A and B are shown apart, each in its own frame.
Chain A
Amino acid sequence: MFAYLIRRLLAAVPVLIIASFLSYALVALSGDPLEPLKLRNPPAPQRTIDLETARLGLDDSIVVRYGHWLWGVLHGDFGESVQSTYDIGANLTRSTAVTLRLVLVAMLLALVLAVFTGVLGAVRQYSKSDYVLTFTGFVFLAMPLFWVAIVLKDLAVRYNKATGTTVFYTIGEKSQGYDELSAGAKVADLAGHLVLPTIALALISYAAWSRYQRAAVLEVLNSDYVRLARAKGLSWRKVLVRHVLRTALIPLVTVTALDVAGILGGAVITETVFNWNGLGRMLLTGVARGDTDAVASWLLLAGLIVVAFSVIADALYAVLDPRIRHE
Chain B
Amino acid sequence: MSDTERTQTQLVLRRFFRHRAAVTSLILLVMVTLFAFAGPLLWQYSYTDITDDLSLPPSPGHPFGTDLIGHDTFAQVMRGTQQSIKIALAIALIGTVFGTLWGAIAGLYRGKLDFLMMRLVDIVLTLPLIAVAAAVAAQGVGQSQWWAIAVVLGALTWPYVSRVVRSVVLSLREQEFIEAARALGAGNVRIILRHLLPNALGAIIVSATLAIATGILGEAALSFLGVGVQAPDTSLGLLVSINKDAVNTRPWLFYFPGLFIIAIALTINFIGDGLRDAFDPKQTRVRR
Are A144 and B130 also in contact (CB < 8 A) when A15-B122, A27-B135, A261-B125 are? no
Neighbouring B residues of A27 by C-beta, 8 Å: 135
Q: Given known contacts A26-B136, A151-B247, A295-B135, is B220 in contact with A265 (CB within 8 Å)? A: no
Residues of B within 8 A of A157 (CB): 248
A98 interface residue per 8 A CB criterion: no
Say yes or no: A261 contacts B127, CB within 8 Å.
Answer: yes
Chain B contacts for A268, CB-based, 8 A: 128, 130-131, 134, 225
The verdict on A311 contacting chain B, using a C-beta distance below 8 Å, is: no
How many angstroms between the C-alpha atoms of A38 and B135 in the bound complex? 22
CA distance A265 to B288 in the complex (A): 41
Is there a chain A Cβ closer than 8 Å to B201's Cβ?
no
In the assembled complex, the CB of A174 is this many whole angstroms from the nearest CB of chain B, namely 23
A residues near B9, Cβ cutoff 8 Å:
none
Chain B residues positioned under 8 Å from A19 (CB to CB): 123-124, 126-127
Per the bound structure, the CA–CA distance linking A30 and B139 in Å amounts to 6
Of listed B127, B128, B247, B248, residue having the most chain A CB within 10 A: B128
Q: How far is the CA of A325 from the CA of B128 in the complex (A)?
A: 30
- Mark each residue of chain A from 124 to 144: 1 if its CB lies under 8 Å from any CB of chain B, else 0: 010000000000001101111
- Considering only CB atoms, which chain A residue lies closest to B210 in the complex? A141
Residues of B within 8 A of A16 (CB): 126
Query: Residues 235-274 of chain A: 1 if any B CB is under 8 Å from the residue's CB, otherwise 0?
Result: 0000000000000000000000010011011101100110
Give per-residue flags for B111-122: 1 if the beta carbon is below 8 A from chain A beta carbons, else 0. Answer: 000000001001
Q: Could you say which of A70-78, A176-184, A282-290 contacts chain B?
A: A282-290
CB of A306 within 8 Å of the partner chain: yes
User: Is B126 a contact of A125 with CB atoms below 8 Å?
Assistant: no
The 12 listed contacts between A and B (C-beta, < 8 Å) are: A19-B123, A26-B136, A27-B135, A30-B139, A141-B269, A144-B220, A144-B221, A144-B262, A146-B221, A269-B130, A272-B224, A303-B127
B248 close to A145 (CB less than 8 A)? no
Residues of B within 8 A of A219 (CB): 286
